[in-house]
Structure 1
């Protein structure tokens, strides 16, 4: 009897026993799910990577807070009354986190203080111009503040000589910036959050997706799946693997989000992250649906392979989709981002990123979720059929089409 005939016979016998096993073992997929979770939690590499990621999130949050709270202090010398007005104007207009200390000295004293590095700059009124002096190089931020202050003081002096005021000269020159969207400009924060969404989805999909595929391949190579199939229906092995890795992926994402939000609260930034919390909630929803939609695909890829080399080659299409989702989340704008937000799997990143900056109607994320869920259900049904046929076929790699033609 040929090897293929034996495989077909084995698959058929397991299929015939499925109904009897389902009746005798309550929720058998739970057993497989618990086993998958236990194996993963016992993996030191997985636990270590999770701990390091949590520490990285804490470190990044603390670093961001430190950079935001850090105070930059400058000491500036003024050599006359006009220069004194310039430094005082710059000091009063300094942005939060920047302070300017004033020293009133003679030009000779200012030079000595610069040479001894006791001050950062000196302001002097020259022949019809202002002179800013530094020891070696002028700090760009300080130079900008002092230059703006010098222009303001000069404008006030010129206005006084003309018998008017700077306010009267500036009448009608005010500029108001508006946007078509009612949403506030979230700028860099939205870009950073979009990057985080894209990277989290991509890395979690790779880590847990490959875990599913490798687990299926290993059990197929060691013929463990045939032993399991004598006690558990084949389709329940698939259910358990998908459910176990989904639970782990969801728990990890929620953990990362909780640590980040806790850090923001502890550092006193909670009042400014309401929109981040809302966007993160939608991302988690899309992640749940998006990862579930691809989990069965990874299981199928493992069942189609007969060795590790086969798995590395047939994961190309799904990896391409994940890379596309990553690139869309990082770089797509306008129409491209809008279209991508409705493409299953890619929408798991595109729609949350789009919601950070664009005005999105309330029904759009629900529609995108529905499309992704429908795609996931379709792939799960197809994947279930292929898995039950291919997981017992050893000796050679299979294609999706060839696996569907096998008898169950």
Structure 2
């Protein structure tokens, strides 16, 4: 006699069936390729040198020979000092008309033209934001120095006392943008995994119910063991898939030398996997209940609204929740699977908070699994039309 628990056998069966599913394997590989491709493309775009050619003309009314050239050169020096990959190059023209013709023909990206009342940066069909910002900063510095000399002082003296630094009372300013991006990734992964593997549980239960396979299985193993195995198998598959996606992204970041802030992402990613486990256990039990109460696919689609609402709430909490709302969301089971890791990424969170949130989520998972077991045992053996939750609770197990 085998000593392997029945739920473990069902778990292995769920994993092996999915591992042989060509559609599942292809979608996983395609997603991995897309993740790595996105990281590589971002690294390529970040390292690519952007060159702007600016047509300039001499301004005879000033003491300087060609201030426009100095402005373009200053923009180039500032871009290099910031460690960027942007270049500015000045191309001389005799007249403003010739400078505009260089822009019109595509030999220059823009023309920096001076007049008695100011400057004009002229493009053909568009002016790139990087070009505008670089020239604007250089022009401001040039005007400041020129006017300071005319006033008999220095630019430093005119700007004295204008420096300021940024700080946050709660959080890290450097991680603010990173938290937004990673929060979107966490939310999207949770959303996709919850739907893909949750629907897989519900459809598997419904298929066994329609084919009466569950009646055969019920003679060999307890019904609750069948439920536990389905939940455990699909949870394991979801965790493996998330780990693959995260590992591929981190590996690609390291290989492309774009992993400057990976050190701050890894701890939050680890907590995300832990919280995802608790959140998905809750959803998996709910999906199994829905599958057991349905009699056909249309019933499953109609009855999945409450679960989908919770999943979408987690998605929106991860993408848009801020401040006190995010704090509250980080203690709500399922939603905390996304909200708490994002909080930990964006600010300093005491260790007791994620631990308390995790305990609440696990307690909710255990409670719903036990409740789901009762509904599953009552509903999965019933044939005929779809059952409501109230009707399923009145049935005998």
TM exceeding 0.5 = yes
* TM-score, structure 1 normalization: 0.87
Say if 1:293 and 1:345, in contact at 8 Å, map to a contact too.
Answer: yes
Deviation of residue 131 (structure 1)? 4.3
Provide the rounded CA distance (Å) in 2 between the counterparts of 1:111 and 1:229. 83
> Where do 5+ consecutive residues of structure 2 fail to align?
59-64
Picking from 71, 84, 93, the partner of 2:78 is 93
Aligned to 2:224: 235
Distance in 1, Cα, partners of 2:113 & 2:295: 80
| Structure 2 counterpart of 1:310 | 299
Of 263, 266, 272, the match for 1:277: 266
Q: 1:216 to 1:101 in 2, by over 3 A?
A: same
Q: Which residue of 1 aligns with 2:34?
A: 56
Equivalence map 1:203-222=2 (5 Å): 203-222=192-211
Question: Under a length normalisation based on structure 2, what TM-score does the superposition of the two structures give?
Answer: 0.90
1:301 aligns with 2:290: yes
Cα shift at 1:265: 0.8
Match of 1:12 in 2: none
Deviates more, 1:240-249 or 1:73-82: 73-82
Q: CA deviation at 1:290?
A: 0.8
Computing the radius of gyration from Cα coordinates, the structure with the larger value is 1
- The correspondence of residues 40-189 of structure 1 with structure 2, limited to 5 A, is 40-80=18-58, 81=65, 82-94=67-79, 95=82, 96-107=84-95, 110=99, 113-127=102-116, 129-135=118-124, 137-181=126-170, 183-189=172-178
1:35 aligns with 2:13: yes
**Larger RCO (alpha carbons 8 Å, 6+ apart):** 1
Provide the C-alpha distance between the structure 2 equivalents of 1:213 and 1:362, rounded to a whole number of angstroms: 36
CA distance in 2, matches of 1:403, 1:113: 78
> 2:362 is matched with which residue: 352, 355, 373?
373
Matched, 1:202 2:191: yes
- In 2, the alpha carbon distance for the partners of 1:395 and 1:113 equals 78
Q: Deviations over 1:50-106 (max 9, x none)?
A: 122111111211121122112210122443322222222111112512101233453
The 1:237/1:136 distance shift into structure 2, 3 A limit, reads: closer
Q: Which moved more, 1:128-137 or 1:213-222?
A: 128-137
